[in-house]
A and B are shown apart, each in its own frame.
Chain A
Amino acid sequence: MDTPVNKKKLSLKEKYSYLTRDLAWEPSYQKKEDLFPYATYEGIKVHDWEKWEDPFRLTMDAYWKYQAEKERKFYAIIDAFAQNNGHLKITDARYLSALKIFLQAISPGEYAAHKGFARAGREFPGVGPQVACQMQAIDEIRHAQTQIHAMSNYNKFYSGFHAFADQRDRIWYTSVARSFFDDAMSAGPFEFMIAIGFSFEYVLTNLLFVPFMSGAAYNGDMSTVTFGFSAQSDEARHMTLGLECIKFMLEQDPANVEIVQKWIDKWFWRGFRVLGLVSTMMDYMLPKRVMSWREAWDIYGEENGGALFNDLARYGIRPPKGWKDAGEAVDHMSHQFMLALYQWNFGTAFHSWIPSDEDMDWLSKKYPDTFDKYYRPRWEHIKKMDEAGTPFNNFGLAKLCQTCQLPTVFSEPGDPSSLCHRETEYKGETYQFCSDHCCDIFKEEPEKFIQAWLPMPALFQAPLNGDLEAWMEWACLENGSDNGDFKGSHDQVSFQKWREMTTSN
């Protein structure tokens, strides 16, 4: 019989070292710069990859163990949801609009992030970030899959869920999120990490997921709470990776500070624009609301972002250039964007509606300085038009921002009554922008942004040639079912009918 040997259990630090650092090797028959051709062109100088620290010290064996546990929890609840008519337990079918936007614009972004991290993991020469990016790549594809799977239950009963993959590439509001990820994925590995790991995950993801999941919990949507929390349990790790990456760049070489600052300026504003969609969801689309967009911004933007930038000041980093304008825009953006979504609702694969009197009172209370003064009168006017049988639809199309791809519907900083619009010329073409910040981003990289695919020009090109019906067909948008006012929609009628059936015979 063998004599049992008491092996000392490895410490977390030792285990991490064996299962990450020890997996690396020095190339012997290829040059390092040939193996990692994209590691230097962005100008980031790295002297010692060993300095990269992963504070979570998660190794692959522990990763699989905990991820498997998350999946088991997730599928147990998704099964229960389907078995118990979960699609009828939500507060109201209006709530579904928020979910449709999520599925059309955000879930494909998770898939894009998966591809991006798989690539970044291949391109970084250090083994620390290689392993962390590999885990995050697997996380992101899991998020896309669990979200699509959870929402497929709603697709059996309601409109607007059936064509998210095509719509992500073809509809105007989804192209906002698409262009954000396309921009990040076509950047170098370091900029990608600032874009997704730092700006999106660390600074902005709380504003997307936390209110969204609390909103789902408030509105009886068990499946979304489940996929949201399952995804969010990975996000804490992603945030830590983003913060680690930025600290690593800043500590490696003082010359990196200027490059990193430029990326922070760019990606904060890019992310803030994507969040415009979330602001409408929080302020307008939840039948039972959790907090206003302004309140969420105060906690997760102002306070948390403020703490972060205070901390980074020791490296010579200042808050992003658009920080102040963002803080001001928060009192306006959800209203301005929701008015846009409503007036173009023939072209949205979700429903919108005129806020009720009760909704408007809530908005007055949450936005005491702006709602009654600037936005209530517009909604009242639209309501009158609707009552007169001439609902307000705008068949003209707004100029699209060449950078963030939002229609130029936002107001001038400091003057909520005038439209903010910028344009610039490049190689004989005129380009439109929603803000100074988007215009500046373009001017830094015009050759990149002139290649952007924009949804409005696509409508006017062959073979659509401006034909709205042909565009709807191409965008897989079923006219009269997926789009338009919530009032009288299939979703409203079916939900009401089925709900009545659950409480009577």
Chain B
Amino acid sequence: MSTVFIAFQTNEETRPVIEAIELDNPSATVHQEPAMVKIDAPDELVIRRETIEDQIGREYDLQELQVNLITMSGHLTEDEDTFTLSWK
């Protein structure tokens, strides 16, 4: 097993995104660090557009994630609906 992770700035835009990630990834661990939230997951982490849209009540483009992204680890696969990090 290897850990994948993603980290975002702590702000109002990322709060619902992090809630959505927690909903979609029950095995993920969320670490609140100074000004930053880091989410670790074993082998794979999936971010789903639909879950975020449910949280924020508007349409969301997954590329918006990039504005508040700090770092990540793992291979990335991205399309309109999902943003997946994994160690294959």
Determine the residue in chain B with the shortest Cβ distance to A237. B66
B66 & A236 in contact (Cβ 8 Å cutoff):
yes
Contacts of B87 in A (CB 8 A): 307, 310-311
Determine the residue in chain A with the shortest Cβ distance to B74. A307
B72 & A236 in contact (Cβ 8 Å cutoff):
yes
Contacts of A307 in B (CB 8 A): 2-4, 73-74, 87
- B65-88 toward A: CB 8 Å interface, digit per residue (1/0)? 011111111111111100000011
* Residue A290 CB within 8 A of the other chain: yes
Within residues 19 to 37 of chain B, which ones have a CB less than 8 A from any CB in chain A? 33-36
* Residue B9 CB within 8 A of the other chain: yes
A235 & B71 in contact (Cβ 8 Å cutoff):
yes
Q: Which of A62-70, A110-118, A370-378 contacts B (4 or more CB under 8 A)?
A: A62-70
Report Cα–Cα, A55/B79, bound state, in Å: 9
Determine the residue in chain B with the shortest Cβ distance to A231. B70
Contacts of A310 in B (CB 8 A): 2, 87
* Residue A213 CB within 8 A of the other chain: yes
Within residues 228 to 255 of chain A, which ones have a CB less than 8 A from any CB in chain B? 229, 232-233, 235-237, 239-240, 243
A272 to chain B, nearest CB (A): 18
A214 & B66 in contact (Cβ 8 Å cutoff):
no
Contacts of A218 in B (CB 8 A): 34
Contacts of B79 in A (CB 8 A): 11-13
Determine the residue in chain A with the shortest Cβ distance to B61. A62
B69 & A233 in contact (Cβ 8 Å cutoff):
yes
Determine the residue in chain A with the shortest Cβ distance to B73. A304
Contacts of A60 in B (CB 8 A): none
* Residue A303 CB within 8 A of the other chain: yes
- Number of B interface residues at 8 Å Cβ cutoff, please give it: 29
* Residue A456 CB within 8 A of the other chain: no
Report Cα–Cα, A47/B35, bound state, in Å: 45
Contact of A206 among B9, B71, B75 (CB under 8 A): B71
* Residue A385 CB within 8 A of the other chain: no
Report Cα–Cα, A240/B6, bound state, in Å: 12
Contacts of B5 in A (CB 8 A): 304
Q: Counting chain B CB atoms within 10 Å of each CB, which of A11, A58, A62, A307 scores highest?
A: A307
Contact of B35 among A229, A237, A239 (CB under 8 A): A229
A232 & B88 in contact (Cβ 8 Å cutoff):
no
A455 to chain B, nearest CB (A): 32
Within residues 200 to 223 of chain A, which ones have a CB less than 8 A from any CB in chain B? 205-206, 209-210, 213-214, 217-218
A12 & B2 in contact (Cβ 8 Å cutoff):
no
Given contacts A307-B2, A307-B87, A311-B2, contact A69 B67 (CB under 8 A): yes
Contact of B63 among A58, A209, A217 (CB under 8 A): A58
* Residue B17 CB within 8 A of the other chain: no
Report Cα–Cα, A12/B78, bound state, in Å: 9
Report Cα–Cα, A277/B40, bound state, in Å: 28
Determine the residue in chain A with the shortest Cβ distance to B4. A307
* Residue A318 CB within 8 A of the other chain: no
* Residue A119 CB within 8 A of the other chain: no
Contact of B36 among A12, A55, A213 (CB under 8 A): A213
* Residue A45 CB within 8 A of the other chain: no
Contacts of B78 in A (CB 8 A): 12, 55-57
A338 to chain B, nearest CB (A): 23
Contacts of B77 in A (CB 8 A): 55
B7 & A210 in contact (Cβ 8 Å cutoff):
yes
Within residues 304 to 359 of chain A, which ones have a CB less than 8 A from any CB in chain B? 304, 306-308, 310-311
Within residues 1 to 25 of chain A, which ones have a CB less than 8 A from any CB in chain B? 11-13
Contacts of B34 in A (CB 8 A): 214, 217-218, 290
B35 & A214 in contact (Cβ 8 Å cutoff):
yes
* Residue A98 CB within 8 A of the other chain: no
Determine the residue in chain A with the shortest Cβ distance to B76. A55
Report Cα–Cα, A108/B50, bound state, in Å: 42
Determine the residue in chain B with the shortest Cβ distance to A9. B80
B54 to chain A, nearest CB (A): 21
Report Cα–Cα, A403/B75, bound state, in Å: 32
Contacts of A400 in B (CB 8 A): none
* Residue A133 CB within 8 A of the other chain: no
Report Cα–Cα, A239/B6, bound state, in Å: 12
Contacts of B68 in A (CB 8 A): 233
A55 & B75 in contact (Cβ 8 Å cutoff):
yes
Determine the residue in chain A with the shortest Cβ distance to B87. A311
Given contacts A206-B71, A232-B71, A311-B2, contact A217 B66 (CB under 8 A): no
Given contacts A232-B69, A310-B2, 4 further A-B contacts (CB under 8 A): A55-B78, A58-B63, A62-B63, A306-B2
Please list the residues of chain A having a beta carbon within 8 angstroms of any beta carbon in chain B: 11-13, 55-58, 62, 66, 69-70, 73, 205-206, 209-210, 213-214, 217-218, 225, 229, 232-233, 235-237, 239-240, 243, 290, 303-304, 306-308, 310-311
Sample of 15 A–B contacts (CB below 8 Å): A12-B78, A205-B71, A209-B70, A210-B36, A214-B36, A217-B34, A229-B35, A232-B70, A233-B9, A236-B72, A237-B66, A290-B34, A304-B5, A307-B3, A311-B2
